[in-house]
Amino acid sequence: MTEQAIRENTHQSTVGMALVTLLALLTALDAMAIDMYLPGMPMIAHTYEVSAGSVQQTLSVFLAGLALGQCLYGPLLERFGRRMPLLVGLVIFVAGSVVAAMAPTLEWLLAARFLQAIGAAAGLVAPRAIVADLCDVKSSAKIFSLLMQVMMIAPVVAPMMGGFLLEHGGWRGIFWMLAALGVIGLAWSLAAIPETLDVGQRTTLSVSSVVRGYLAQSRRRVFMTYTAAGGFVLGSLFTYISAAAFVFTDHFGMTPTHFSYLFAANSVGLIIGGMLSNALSARGMTPAGVTYIGLGIHALAGALLYLVVTTDMVTFETYVALLGVAIGALGLVFGNLTALTMNAGGAQAGVASALMGTLHYVVAAAVGYVASLATQGPHLMPLTLTLCGVTALLLCRLAGAMTIKAQDVHLDGART
């Protein structure tokens, strides 16, 4: 029996909606910590009497902490189980939020944001490992899609919450609210998060074992190929997040308020895409099949948008519609591609989740850096979306072909 078959036979098939909601809250902590405080950045600069660029370092430090934190939690999840590292991470997140709320200088705020990110990383890594422990690949695809749908409420709600808190409590109130969310997540996790990794499956913790674990995971070609594909998908999404405000306010003359409505509408489109993903799965379509469809639509919509922009046929309505289709199509991708990647990661779901998350940020950051070197304008975003979509689709097809080949080799060996 193959490793995949053994894992699927030992998985349970369902996860309660209450647990899904909790895991989504934990996964969304990093998004809330980013989106909620963005409206307060000018006020932070005024408080510390520093430049806007200096305050933007708090975002860079947070993203660096997320990448490093995910690497750290992988081995911890394999040594101590899923529950304890998650709880420790939530305590760190709360502590970082409190320090940020009380930070007397920008340097203190930078340190607090890094600490906050280290804690938030646990909310990214542990839920993926828990779902992989409990579900087979098809069931986990549905759960990851549900996680994404609940999590996408954060980009809709967080900026509005941040604006409200700015008006009534200043920017420090935002970090007090994040601390409160962390406390809620911690209390709920203490009451409801199960331990999904048996003691007999846990590994030792040493520098050599950590290195061996990551090296072994990096040799899984299917896993690494799916991970690279996920990095390009995230790079496409980050390109949209970073460039959309520039395009719609500077080139189409939208007000920041109206743009926030458009941003929220596209977030709803992602949720609808996730719902469609679950509907297709219920009709018998495989996670790989749904992923191919989503990436195909994403790349096609991006290509059409690039075509109308470069041929001067673009209108505001056309740009909004095609961009909405491209972003909404990613709702078909996230849950299914995560499930495929985690399933290809083998038994050490903690290390797989950590390596996947870290490499996603590395690839996405590289995509963003290359895109930033190009001439800015309304054509750059659809071009980047198209290239990322096509690359991710080709990588997924390659990973699928390698999976089929491995299965054929196993069957041939069984016959002989």
Task: In whole angstroms, give the CA distance from residue 66 to residue 164.
Answer: 26
Full-model pTM: 0.75
The DSSP call for residue 311 is T
Q: Quote the CA–CA distance of 328 and 321 in Å, as a whole number.
A: 10
pLDDT of residue 93: 98
Final residue before a domain boundary, out of 205, 229, 253: 205
Q: Count other Cβ atoms within 10 Å, centred on residue 9.
A: 9
User: Do 214 and 168 share a structural domain?
Assistant: no
What pLDDT, on the 0 to 100 scale, is given for residue 17? Answer: 80
Q: Using CA atoms, how far apart are residues 40 and 166, in angstroms rounded to an integer?
A: 7
The model's confidence at residue 120, banded by pLDDT at 50, 70 and 90, is very high
Q: Once rounded to an integer, what is the mean pLDDT over residues 277-284? A: 88
* pLDDT of the residue at 256: 67
Q: What confidence tens digit (pLDDT) does each residue in 352-388 have?
A: 888 888 888 788 878 876 776 665 678 888 999 999 9
Do 14 and 140 touch, CB atoms closer than 8 A?
no
CA atoms within 13 A on the CB side of 271: 14
How long is the chain? 416
Domain stop point among 205, 233, 263: 205
159, 39 Cβ separation under 8 angstroms: yes
Q: How many CB atoms lie within 10 A of CB 114?
A: 18
7-30 pLDDT per residue, tens = 444 444 456 788 888 998 898 898
Query: Are 150 and 233 part of one and the same domain?
Result: no
391: pLDDT strictly greater than 90: yes
| Pair 116, 250 in one domain | no
CA-to-CA distance for 354 and 74, rounded, in angstroms?
Answer: 5
Residue 2's pLDDT is 44
pLDDT of residue 407: 64
Determine which helix (DSSP H) or strand (DSSP E) holds 232, and give its type and residue range: helix 221-246
Q: How confident is the model at residue 275 (pLDDT cuts 50, 70, 90)?
A: confident
Question: In the 8-state DSSP scheme, what is residue 1?
Answer: -
Residue with tokens 């370092």: 57
Give the residue-averaged pLDDT of 164-175. 88
124 and 253 belong to one structural domain: no
| 119 and 20 together in one domain | yes
Task: Report the pLDDT averaged over residues 274-293.
Answer: 90
What are the helix (H) ranges across 103-206? 106-134, 137-151, 153-192
Give the residue numbers spanning the domain of 328.
206-416
13-to-1, 233, 259, 320, 370 alpha-carbon distances in Å: 20, 27, 41, 39, 41
My answer on whether 32 and 95 are in the same domain is yes
pLDDT at 46 over 80: yes
Domain-ending residue, one of 190, 205, 220: 205
Q: Mark whether 308 and 353 lie in a shared domain.
A: yes
- Same structural domain for residues 238 and 142? no
Residue 307 has pLDDT above 60, yes or no: yes
CB-CB contact of 291 with 234 (8 Å): no
Regarding whether 413 and 358 lie in a shared domain, the answer is yes
| Whole-number Å distance between alpha carbons of 299 and 406 | 29
pLDDT, position 10: 42
Greatest mean pLDDT range, 35-39, 136-140, 294-298: 294-298
The answer on 224 and 174 residing in a single domain is no
The span from the CA of 182 to the CA of 94, in Å, is: 5
Domains contained in the chain, number: 2
Question: CB of 277 within 8 A of CB of 328?
Answer: no
65-79, 149-163, 244-258 — most confident range: 65-79
Residue 169: C-alpha distances to residues 31, 151, 162, 187, 257 (Å): 21, 25, 10, 25, 20
- Please check the confidence at residue 136 and state whether its pLDDT lies above 80: no
- Is residue 127 located within the same domain as residue 265? no
- Which carries the bigger pLDDT value, residue 403 or residue 231? 231
CATH (domain of 365): 1.20.1250.20
Q: Are residues 17 and 159 in the same domain?
A: yes
Tokens 């078959």 found at: 5
Token pair for residue 162?
A: 């941040």
pLDDT of 159 higher than 90: no
